Amino acid sequence: MSLALARSDNRDPAAAPRLLITITLLVLLWPGLLLTEFNLVMLFDPANLGTFGRFLSGFWPPDLSPGFLRLLGTATLETLAMATAGLALALLVAVPLSLLSSRALSVSALLNGQTNSWRSAARYPVRLLLIILRSIPEIVWALLFVRAVGLGPTAGVLAIAITYSGMLGKVYAEIYESVDQRPARALLQAGSSRLAAFFYGILPGAVQELTSYTLYRWECAVRASVIMGFVGAGGLGQMIDLSIRMLAGGEVASILLTFLVLVLLADQLSTLLRRRLA
């Protein structure tokens, strides 16, 4: 009797709700799989595997010729410059918009816990602007700017700046609101300005998360700059496009390995800065 009671006590009370949620998600996922004509069996078809294997065999060995490596180095620097310049321009737009759209600097919310309705309504246009900026993919902006300014990294820089300013502004505003508001409240009650309350009350608690997310977005900007190269924005993406058109698998392998190194370096840089700011 005691053994049966012990077994019943060890049961997870949340097991049934979790099972129900899992079944519900699978039921909702099934129409999506049918709509996309997803068929995993085709991937393991012998004919498809043979074609895929022959395609991958053309990527080895990587092209390490001096002339190609010089072109690869130039394209790598171009990609890094495109991502960094685009993110820097995005920050110039995102930081002011995040401050205007966040409740973290609302005096009424900090002191009374309630937001003034007029000031809350004034934040809606800024939030709408952030939605518009991030709703259009950067590759679409790149296509438009290629027509406006011509082929080259300038189109990629502008495309990244517009899309990422909306992404950064939204997340920054949420980070400001998620940190402990008590230091900022104490500063405001002592008579400090809202800007001082932000720098000394909110920013110290948010700086680690802000840095982590900014570096993550820089890593995403590097990947995005590669993709935008396919529409003529320069960098590694344009090199991949040209190499694939010429069926130069070795060149494509070298470019992909370079891109892998860039992502690994970005990840290590993010880890290092998070440890320094911890």
Q: Give residue-wise pLDDT tens across range 58-113.
A: 778 887 888 888 888 888 888 888 889 999 999 999 998 888 888 777 655 555 55
Question: Quick count: other Cβ atoms within 10 Å of Cβ 278?
Answer: 6
Question: Roughly how many angstroms between the first and final C-alpha of the chain, as a whole number?
Answer: 53
Domains for the chain: give ranges and CATH numbers: 13-57 (no CATH), 66-277 (1.10.3720.10)
pLDDT (0 to 100) of residue 38: 74
pTM, whole model, 2 decimals?
0.77
pLDDT (0 to 100) of residue 193: 78
- Rg over CA atoms, the chain: 25
Q: How many angstroms from the chain centroid is the CA of residue 195?
A: 28
pLDDT in tens, the chain (278 residues): 555 545 555 666 667 778 888 888 888 888 877 787 777 777 777 777 777 777 777 778 887 888 888 888 888 888 888 889 999 999 999 998 888 888 777 655 555 555 555 556 667 888 888 888 888 888 888 888 888 887 778 888 898 999 999 999 999 988 988 888 788 888 877 877 778 888 888 888 888 888 888 888 888 888 888 888 777 777 788 888 888 888 777 888 888 888 888 888 877 877 787 777 66
pLDDT (0 to 100) of residue 118: 55
Angle at which helix 138-149 crosses helix 203-228, to 10 degrees, equals: 60
Cα separation values, 34 from 25, 37, 40, 142, 257, Å: 15, 5, 12, 32, 35
Per residue in 13-48, is it b (16+ CB within 10 Å) or e — as a string? eeeeeeeeeeeeeeeeeeeeeeeeeeeeeeeeeeee
pLDDT (0 to 100) of residue 7: 52
Angle at which helix 66-101 crosses helix 153-178, to 10 degrees, equals: 40
pLDDT (0 to 100) of residue 120: 62
Nearest to 129 by CA among 88, 160, 92, 100: 100
